[in-house]
A and B are shown apart, each in its own frame.
Chain A
């Protein structure tokens, strides 16, 4: 037992030391991300000192870029399951070796989500009020309580799966299927849950007609399964170039098919929503009007949403007309990712608030500190993901393993 613990601690120590050694590119990349994180931390300290008045949020638009980014990144986390389904259910061998990379992305994304929610809180010092057992947890009535449960559950699931598989590989042992396969299948189901629960946060609010429609949840799933695999296509090429990890083109093509279908589905649902709003044309369509055409002289979101639509349509066309060439595929992925980030981020949050339930429009624009904090959380997510890749690739390729002359470390049951 002591041996097991000592081996694990030694693994941690060696991993820590490995974290700080890499190529010049690694140092530059991690250094830049760390710099962005430190700058963001400074802005966040200012926000704690003076309050959320440092942001552009008002009583009229009480959620802004923090929650917008949170909503988008939950989708990325859920989309990691897109690799798991073909790999394990359809037994697609190409994807088997990249599943862990996808699940590590899920871990980084969930931590980004938790950070986005934390920076949005007015009283982060009261975080323990949310802990079941210690605080008061309004489960099952509050969708935010559901969100806390499913996000932490998803994080723990993926941390277990990746941690177990990587440590098993480090020890040079064959992983026991019972220790990870059931969790993998739970994770597939759980991924849909986290994103549906996040969607239901908005859907259930009767006072916000822009959100109070059933189509929001399917749109969330569609856009998540477009943006997530699109990101993974780009990220896997980066990993492929800057490390020794082998990712075959067939894996990228499988992801391409997922992105194509999901993007077309997303555009179809968006079309459904446009029809419903503008054909029935009642007073309840004011928010959609504000978003797409501007209302009563306020039109700040109009260029954003039209750029997003153009980007998504362009991406769809590229993907349909055959994006076998990697360069074209990358362009399509970037366009789809950015388009969905706009459409699902500010393009979802702000029109939910404007016009207000009392009919006024007070436009929202993020401040510098708010933007720096958002960039910092993204940088932290990338930092975390890069660090995990930096450790995982040597483990998976067999370079970073436990010394063989010692007796084999027994795996905990």
Chain B
């Protein structure tokens, strides 16, 4: 069976396909291949050159680090020291990193008195300071909504109100942050289990495991999650140096973060930063399993409701008003 003639190239002479694929490598083709390869390598080098300016690099240890729930205590300590070194190198502060475990017999709940909130946003900035969130681009876990009186319609709310004084007439204020839902849609959708609910109710993110796909951000009905689109910028003088692995440590870029009820503080019995800052005392925090806690008092005595209850996420965050 003879090979068929095939006009495959012009100008360089007519060759059959077999002659193309089986031709011996002579000097001319070697030079051609070499030139093409060199040009290709140069183009590739140009294309990849921005990587030289990349902020930060990844060590082998960091690359191979396993999921939080698979680490033993020694590995965790090594990781904490490594993160302290990274933060020291990048931000110039000596951080003190720890990994406090959930307290037994404790499940947190949060109540917010929308009858008393005046929308002053001190909680927002206290949270930024405590949680070392990026200032530029600005990440704020708490978003305060100025709502029209008589309506729960979130589309009528104003996020960017900036009057001389608050509260304004015929408005009420509703701050929203992560509700640490009991049936959270965000933990359901994460493909790598980088976010989960801890036994004390706080939903955490393992910032060293998150791949940055942002599916959890799409899933959250409360717009509670934020993404580090670039490396966080925090003024050195404002860094809170007591950091926790799952909470307020300075995050790398490309991972999701959110309110963690100030995990490092509350697991030592302290109030979250937003509760500490609120001048009107509209924020109440406590252990819902303790019948004598303020949070249970509110659930018993006050008119309590849940935002977007029809979403079925069963939040731990309640809004109430007094009278």
* Pairwise interchain contact B50-A358, C-beta atoms closer than 8 A: no
Identify which of residues 190-224 in chain B touch chain A, using a CB-to-CB cut-off of 8 Å: 190-194, 209-215, 217-223
Given contacts A38-B44, A52-B254, A205-B219, contact A142 B190 (CB under 8 A): yes
A32 contacts partner chain B, Cβ-Cβ < 8 Å: no
Residues of B close to A138: CB separation below 8 A: 190-193
* Pairwise interchain contact A355-B155, C-beta atoms closer than 8 A: yes
* A124 to B211 alpha-carbon distance, docked (Å): 7
From B156, B213, B220, name the one whose CB has the most chain A CB atoms within 10 angstroms: B213
**Complex interface bits, B38-53 against A, C-beta within 8 A gives 1, otherwise 0:** 0000011011111101
B287 contacts partner chain A, Cβ-Cβ < 8 Å: no
The interface size bin for chain A is 35 or more
Q: Which of A55-63, A80-88, A90-98, A332-340 contacts B (4 or more CB under 8 A)?
A: A55-63
Name B224's closest neighbour in chain A (CB-CB): A357
CB < 8 Å: which of A49, A117, A207, A403 contacts B54? A49
* Pairwise interchain contact A46-B50, C-beta atoms closer than 8 A: yes
* Pairwise interchain contact B211-A130, C-beta atoms closer than 8 A: yes
* Pairwise interchain contact B8-A23, C-beta atoms closer than 8 A: yes
Residues of A close to B50: CB separation below 8 A: 42, 45-46, 48-49
* Pairwise interchain contact B48-A121, C-beta atoms closer than 8 A: no
* A135 to B194 alpha-carbon distance, docked (Å): 10
Given contacts A45-B47, A49-B50, A399-B4, contact A206 B21 (CB under 8 A): no
* A18 to B17 alpha-carbon distance, docked (Å): 8
* A126 to B67 alpha-carbon distance, docked (Å): 11
> In the complex, what's the smallest C-beta–C-beta distance from A170 to chain B, in angstroms?
11
* A60 to B50 alpha-carbon distance, docked (Å): 28
Given contacts A17-B20, A358-B159, contact A121 B211 (CB under 8 A): yes
A250 contacts partner chain B, Cβ-Cβ < 8 Å: no
* Pairwise interchain contact B47-A42, C-beta atoms closer than 8 A: yes
* A55 to B209 alpha-carbon distance, docked (Å): 23
CB < 8 Å: which of A52, A63, A399, A404 contacts B229? A52
CB < 8 Å: which of B1, B156, B189 contacts A359? B156
Q: Which of A143-151, A259-267, A323-331 contacts B (4 or more CB under 8 A)?
A: A143-151
Residues of B close to A14: CB separation below 8 A: 21-22
* Pairwise interchain contact A359-B153, C-beta atoms closer than 8 A: yes
Identify which of residues 64-114 in chain B touch chain A, using a CB-to-CB cut-off of 8 Å: 67
* Pairwise interchain contact B311-A207, C-beta atoms closer than 8 A: yes
* Pairwise interchain contact A358-B157, C-beta atoms closer than 8 A: yes
A51 contacts partner chain B, Cβ-Cβ < 8 Å: yes
* Pairwise interchain contact B192-A45, C-beta atoms closer than 8 A: no
* Pairwise interchain contact A23-B192, C-beta atoms closer than 8 A: no
A174 contacts partner chain B, Cβ-Cβ < 8 Å: no
A356 contacts partner chain B, Cβ-Cβ < 8 Å: yes
* Pairwise interchain contact B157-A59, C-beta atoms closer than 8 A: no
From A57, A136, A205, name the one whose CB has the most chain B CB atoms within 10 angstroms: A136
* A206 to B188 alpha-carbon distance, docked (Å): 12
Identify which of residues 4-47 in chain A touch chain B, using a CB-to-CB cut-off of 8 Å: 14-15, 17-18, 21-24, 38-39, 41-42, 45-46
* A124 to B194 alpha-carbon distance, docked (Å): 15
From B47, B63, B191, name the one whose CB has the most chain A CB atoms within 10 angstroms: B191
A256 contacts partner chain B, Cβ-Cβ < 8 Å: no
A352 contacts partner chain B, Cβ-Cβ < 8 Å: yes
> In the complex, what's the smallest C-beta–C-beta distance from A289 to chain B, in angstroms?
10
* A14 to B21 alpha-carbon distance, docked (Å): 5
> In the complex, what's the smallest C-beta–C-beta distance from A58 to chain B, in angstroms?
8
* A266 to B159 alpha-carbon distance, docked (Å): 38
* A201 to B145 alpha-carbon distance, docked (Å): 29
B230 contacts partner chain A, Cβ-Cβ < 8 Å: yes
A280 contacts partner chain B, Cβ-Cβ < 8 Å: no
A312 contacts partner chain B, Cβ-Cβ < 8 Å: no
> In the complex, what's the smallest C-beta–C-beta distance from A228 to chain B, in angstroms?
26
Residues of A close to B47: CB separation below 8 A: 38-39, 41-42, 45
* Pairwise interchain contact A136-B192, C-beta atoms closer than 8 A: yes
Identify which of residues 114-170 in chain B touch chain A, using a CB-to-CB cut-off of 8 Å: 137, 139, 143, 145, 153-157, 159
A360 contacts partner chain B, Cβ-Cβ < 8 Å: yes
Given contacts A14-B21, A42-B47, A206-B311, contact A358 B230 (CB under 8 A): no
* Pairwise interchain contact A21-B192, C-beta atoms closer than 8 A: no
Residues of B close to A142: CB separation below 8 A: 188-191, 215
* Pairwise interchain contact A122-B191, C-beta atoms closer than 8 A: no
Residues of B close to A356: CB separation below 8 A: 223
Given contacts A18-B17, A38-B44, A125-B58, contact A357 B191 (CB under 8 A): no
**Complex interface bits, A336-349 against B, C-beta within 8 A gives 1, otherwise 0:** 00000000000000
> In the complex, what's the smallest C-beta–C-beta distance from A63 to chain B, in angstroms?
6
B10 contacts partner chain A, Cβ-Cβ < 8 Å: yes
* A122 to B215 alpha-carbon distance, docked (Å): 11
* Pairwise interchain contact A52-B230, C-beta atoms closer than 8 A: yes
CB < 8 Å: which of B10, B18, B176, B185 contacts A23? B10
Residues of B close to A276: CB separation below 8 A: none
* Pairwise interchain contact B143-A144, C-beta atoms closer than 8 A: no
CB < 8 Å: which of A17, A45, A283, A352 contacts B155? A283
A279 contacts partner chain B, Cβ-Cβ < 8 Å: no
* Pairwise interchain contact A357-B213, C-beta atoms closer than 8 A: no
> In the complex, what's the smallest C-beta–C-beta distance from A237 to chain B, in angstroms?
21
Name B67's closest neighbour in chain A (CB-CB): A136
* Pairwise interchain contact A59-B217, C-beta atoms closer than 8 A: yes
Given contacts A59-B226, A142-B215, A144-B215, contact A358 B21 (CB under 8 A): no
* Pairwise interchain contact A50-B230, C-beta atoms closer than 8 A: yes
CB < 8 Å: which of A59, A129, A286, A353 contacts B211? A129
Name B46's closest neighbour in chain A (CB-CB): A42
* Pairwise interchain contact B20-A21, C-beta atoms closer than 8 A: yes
> In the complex, what's the smallest C-beta–C-beta distance from B297 to chain A, in angstroms?
29
Given contacts A48-B54, A359-B154, contact A144 B311 (CB under 8 A): no
Name B155's closest neighbour in chain A (CB-CB): A359
* A174 to B192 alpha-carbon distance, docked (Å): 44
* Pairwise interchain contact A122-B212, C-beta atoms closer than 8 A: yes
* A39 to B49 alpha-carbon distance, docked (Å): 12
Which of A's residues lie within 8 Å of B, judged by CB? 14-15, 17-18, 21-24, 38-39, 41-42, 45-46, 48-53, 55, 57-60, 62-63, 117, 120-127, 129-130, 135-138, 141-145, 148, 201, 204-208, 283, 286, 296, 352-353, 355-360, 394, 398-400, 403-404
Interchain Cβ contacts under 8 Å between A and B, 10 examples: A15-B21, A41-B47, A42-B50, A46-B50, A52-B227, A53-B230, A123-B210, A129-B194, A286-B155, A358-B145
| Extra A-B contacts (13), CB below 8 Å, given A49-B51, A205-B219, A207-B218 | A17-B23, A21-B8, A23-B8, A42-B47, A50-B54, A51-B229, A60-B223, A62-B227, A117-B213, A122-B256, A144-B191, A286-B155, A359-B153
